[in-house]
């Protein structure tokens, strides 16, 4: 297959990879914000003693979510072509 036919396909694949990167960055942002909100809500429940058990669980879940998001920030997937 001639090289000039593969160039538009490679350009299209690179365009799609760029969209995947943008979507990934947005998901990382949403994950970080969600972790902060979950920890904050858990801390409020825990320290006001409204529901201490659920508050502790939310704090732990938020911390776990933050660790997972940070892992994917450090080691992102490769969306490159080729």
Question: Is residue 2 a part of any domain in this protein?
Answer: no
Give me the domain span that covers residue 30: 7-74
Confidence (pTM) = 0.79
Question: Is residue 67 a part of any domain in this protein?
Answer: yes
User: Count of domains in the chain?
Assistant: 1
State the pLDDT at residue 36: 97
Question: Is residue 81 a part of any domain in this protein?
Answer: no
pLDDT digits (tens, 9 = 90+) for 24-73: 999 999 999 999 999 999 999 999 989 899 999 999 999 999 999 999 99
User: Which residue, 10, 23, 12, is CA-closest to 76?
Assistant: 23
């Amino acid at each position: 297959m001639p090289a000039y036919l593969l160039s538009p396909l490679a350009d299209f694949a690179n365009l799609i990879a760029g969209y995947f990167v943008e979507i990934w960055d947005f998901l990382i942002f949403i994950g970080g914000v969600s972790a902060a909100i979950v920890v904050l809500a858990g801390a409020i429940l825990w320290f006001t003693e409204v529901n201490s058990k659920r508050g502790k669980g939310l704090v732990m879940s938020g911390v776990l979510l933050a660790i997972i998001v940070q892992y994917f920030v450090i080691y992102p997937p490769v969306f490159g072509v080729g």
